[in-house]
Amino acid sequence: MSLTDIADTKAGALKLLRSTGEELRRLYRLADEVRRERMGDDVYLRGIVEFSNICANNCTYCGIRGGNKAVSRYRMTFEEILDVARSMAGTERTTVVLQSGETQVFGDEEIGEIVKRIKRETSLSITLSVGNRPFETYRYWHECGMDRYLLRFETSDAQLFEALRPRTTLQDRVRCLTDLPNLGVQTGSGFMVGLPGETLETLADNILLCRDLTLDMIGIGPFIPHPGTPLAGKRNAYDGDPEMFFKAIAVLRIFNPDAHIPATTAYDALFPGQGRDRALQVGANVFMPNNTPVQYRKDYLLYPGKPCITEDADQCSACTLMRIEALGRTVGKGPGHGRSRFADRPR
């Protein structure tokens, strides 16, 4: 099997996603070879800070949805966020990912000031992930020093998207994912694997949409039903085929050879102690350890069984390094910027 055999089409993606036996083993080897050739053996560490779980949306799959009254809501203070970012300086983490529910718990100027302060006081790259915002807001944050923006589209099926995310549209999400790179912002997105109602055709379309958007980073993870949501008790579409979660990463790597692909935490929730390791072996090259202060982690549960909610940052760091070294990989140095046509614009 070679890249030229795949033809880079939906039919090619479907063929790879249906791989079994020796074909599946060849798929995994090819994905790992593409990762090594295009991205090297470095694993970049990007520390997540979940600074608020307050959300105005009512997404039917998400544990911190606005309608979940069982959630204890919080918002970290300006200084708490800065303290965490400062503590990351000089560690192996070279990016801080500031993530929250999709609502304005801080004003645009306040977020801009947080970005400016982190840029002045550390050498960290900065990723924001706070939902759909107007073009001018993205422009302002980029001018303040925001390097990257993360905004997952979750599914390429417009009807399924609107069922999952009431009062929102896939078209508006894609508009944001077009605005961001046009501003020179390195852009990340991604999707869930196995949403109720998803078909293999949908999964292939998800992978192709990532390619068409020319993303710098693509994060995917299995759908895991949360008991505090309307999808509680629903089965993952691939419950009978657990390899599909790893096939998705492998095909994603082949179709998006220059994108950073994280081994997301949800893989460890579904495959305890080994999920993220396997993801790194079939195409992933980024690890995103949790840097949220321990007292808040239990309240940022997008799905049940989320690992690493009781360990402090030092424990997470030691575990991360041990896992990377056990795979014979090295920790990436420097910012780990994307390789898309927008990533090399001067800042």
Domain annotation covers residue 340: no
pLDDT given at position 203: 98
Domain annotation covers residue 335: no
**Which tokens go with 53?**
């779980």
pLDDT given at position 316: 86
**Amino acid letter for position 4:** T
Mean pLDDT for the chain? 94
Domain annotation covers residue 185: yes
The predicted-structure confidence for 141-190, as pLDDT tens digits, reads as follows 999 999 999 999 999 999 999 999 999 999 999 999 999 999 999 999 99
pLDDT given at position 347: 34
**Which tokens go with 18?**
């249906």
State how far the Cα of 326 lies from the Cα of 308, in Å rounded to an integer.
19
The radius of gyration computed from the CA coordinates of the chain, to the nearest angstrom, equals: 19
Domain annotation covers residue 342: no
Task: Tell whether the model's pLDDT for residue 315 goes beyond 90.
Answer: no
Domain with 185 in it: what CATH number? 3.20.20.70
Total of domains in the chain: 1
pTM assigned to the model: 0.95
pLDDT given at position 262: 98
Domain annotation covers residue 273: yes
Whole-Å CA distances, 30 to 16, 138, 250, 298, 325: 11, 37, 8, 38, 22
Task: Tell whether the model's pLDDT for residue 61 goes beyond 50.
Answer: yes
Residue 69's pLDDT band (boundaries 50, 70, 90)? very high
Return the minimum-mean-pLDDT range out of 34-43, 256-265, 267-276, 337-346. Answer: 337-346
Domain annotation covers residue 338: no
Domain annotation covers residue 315: yes
Q: Which of 59, 85, 60, 56 is nearest to 73 (CA)?
A: 56
Residue 6's pLDDT band (boundaries 50, 70, 90)? low
Domain annotation covers residue 15: yes
Residue 333's pLDDT band (boundaries 50, 70, 90)? very high
pLDDT given at position 5: 58
The predicted-structure confidence for 96-147, as pLDDT tens digits, reads as follows 999 999 999 999 999 999 999 999 999 999 999 999 999 999 999 999 999 9
State how far the Cα of 232 lies from the Cα of 241, in Å rounded to an integer.
20
Containing structural domain, residue 278: 7-328
